[in-house]
Amino acid sequence: MPIRTGWSDSFTASHSLPAVGALLDRRLIFVTGKGGVGKTTVAAALGLAAARAGQRVLVCEVGDQERLTASFGLPAAGFRELEIEPGLHAFSVNPEDAISEWLRYQLHSRTLAGLLGGSRIFQYLATAAPGLAEMVTIGKVWELAQLERKTPSAAPYDLVIVDAPATGHGMALLRAPRTFAEIARVGPINRQAEIVDGFLRDPAATAVVAVTLAEEMPVSETLDLERWLRDELGLDLERVYVNALLPDRVKAAESRAIEAAVAGGGDASPSPSALAAFDASLAAHQTVRAQRSQLARLRRGLATEAISLPHLLTPDVGRDGLERLATKLERDL
């Protein structure tokens, strides 16, 4: 059941909160984090929330495997802007298409672009030069987020959300424009790289958010990410979404009661099934406690805020799960 009712309420509610970051006022939200923490899910839910708030929004995946459209039961979008439901669009950027497109704009000529793109020398350079893929990828992301699009007859978006690769490669994407501006000290590449770099570093235009789990490694990586962004790029991490927090169901005193029941001593000794159930409950309690301590550790080390998101406890996230998360996210947009 789609939860359509809530958006106007929560939209109003978000205005009554202090304007934490006014995330939806940016042009670009860059979602990164360690692998397996739910970046795609959070990016999609953010997109859904923005679309529900009436925005024309695009969720851009990076890499060769698309996941977003599948959650909506649709085939992959590929390198084209596909509206997957009212206001919400999907796109997947890959370096090959991004390079050809860049060449076409650069040379203002399909013929010249074809000549260059088809030349062996350029192919060598383009496919082999490490870093070029990152540069054209982030360049395309920048283009998507512009009010004046370079893509002929393309309409601008209110917001572009990038489902970026895991931390290391995500950082390489953010750094690529600077790298290229440094390599090409003058000339058109330098100019373009400077523009993209400036856009990424403009807090009014771009927000970098991280997704993490309340576990040791992802938390460490998130703390490192915040430091790295500040030291290397002079960027602030906007916020951190702590994903998949389990419900704190069994309280400490209750867990002691369960432990006592396991130990026996009452009138009846527990059946094997009851023992297994106790075991499961105690393990869940243990996990919740571990999550809480990691969340506390994250909050201690983090300069920005950490927003918690619930574990959906469903077999597949799917459309309904995204709706539920979007409703949670709407509180702090």
Partner 1 sequence: MTARARRIDSVLAGKRVIVCAGSGGVGKTTTAAAVAAALAARGQRTIVLTIDPARRLADALGLPELGNEEHRVDPDRLRAAGLAGDGELWAMTLDAKRTFDELIERTAPDTETRDAVLANPIYRQLSNAVAGSQEYMAMEKLYELHESGHYDVLVLDTPPTRNALDFLDAPGRLARFIDSRSLQVFRASGRAGLGLLGRGVATVMSVLEKATGVDLLRDLAEFFNAFGGMAEGFRDRARRVEALLRDEATTFLLVTSPRAAAIADAGHFHAKLAESGMPFGALIVNRVCEPVGAAADEKGLERELTDLLDERIGRKVLHDVGDRNLLAERDARNIERMRTELSGGVLLTVPELSGDVHDLDGLAAVAAQLFKRRRS
126 alpha-carbon distance from chain centroid: 27
In terms of residues, how long is the chain?
333
**How is residue 209 written in tokens?**
């958010």
Residue 106 makes contact with partner 1 by CB under 8 A: yes
Of 5-13, 118-126, 197-205, 324-332, the window that binds partner 1 (rule: CB under 8 A) is 118-126
Distance from C-alpha of 125 to C-alpha of 173, rounded to nearest angstrom: 19
Q: Report the residue number, 121 or 204, with the smaller CB distance to partner 1.
A: 121
Instruction: Give the one residue of 83, 182, 202, 305 binding partner 1; rule: CB under 8 A.
Output: 182
Q: Report the residue number, 226 or 330, with the smaller CB distance to partner 1.
A: 226
Q: Which residues, 249 to 288, sit near partner 1 by CB under 8 A?
A: 249-250, 254, 257-258, 261, 266, 268, 270-274, 276-281, 283-284, 286
Q: Report the residue number, 8 or 65, with the smaller CB distance to partner 1.
A: 65
Distance from C-alpha of 126 to C-alpha of 327, rounded to nearest angstrom: 43
Instruction: Give the one residue of 128, 147, 155, 252 binding partner 1; rule: CB under 8 A.
Output: 128
CA dist 253 to 261, 268, 282, 284, Å?
Answer: 13, 21, 12, 15
CB 196 within 8 A of CB 142: yes
Q: Which residues, 194 to 223, sit near partner 1 by CB under 8 A?
A: 215-218, 220
Q: Which residues, 219 to 248, sit near partner 1 by CB under 8 A?
A: 220, 246
Burial of 164 (0-12, 13-18, 19+ CB in 10 A): buried
Number of residues that bind partner 1 (CB under 8 A): 80
Q: Report the residue number, 82 or 258, with the smaller CB distance to partner 1.
A: 258
Q: Which residues, 160 to 179, sit near partner 1 by CB under 8 A?
A: 165-169, 172-173, 175-176, 179
Angle, helix 110-118 to helix 95-107, in steps of 10 degrees: 130
Of 81-89, 100-108, 142-150, 323-331, the window that binds partner 1 (rule: CB under 8 A) is 100-108
- Token pair 């009712």 is found at 5
Distance from C-alpha of 324 to C-alpha of 310, rounded to nearest angstrom: 10
Give the nearest distance from C-beta 90 to partner 1 in angstroms.
Answer: 16
Instruction: Give the one residue of 9, 80, 124, 296 binding partner 1; rule: CB under 8 A.
Output: 124
Q: Report the residue number, 1 or 268, with the smaller CB distance to partner 1.
A: 268
Give the nearest distance from C-beta 48 to partner 1 in angstroms.
Answer: 18
Backbone angles phi, psi at 56, to 5 degrees: -90, 110
CA dist 117 to 105, 134, 138, Å?
Answer: 13, 17, 19
Distance from C-alpha of 173 to C-alpha of 167, rounded to nearest angstrom: 10
Q: Which residues, 18 to 77, sit near partner 1 by CB under 8 A?
A: 34-37, 40, 63-65, 67
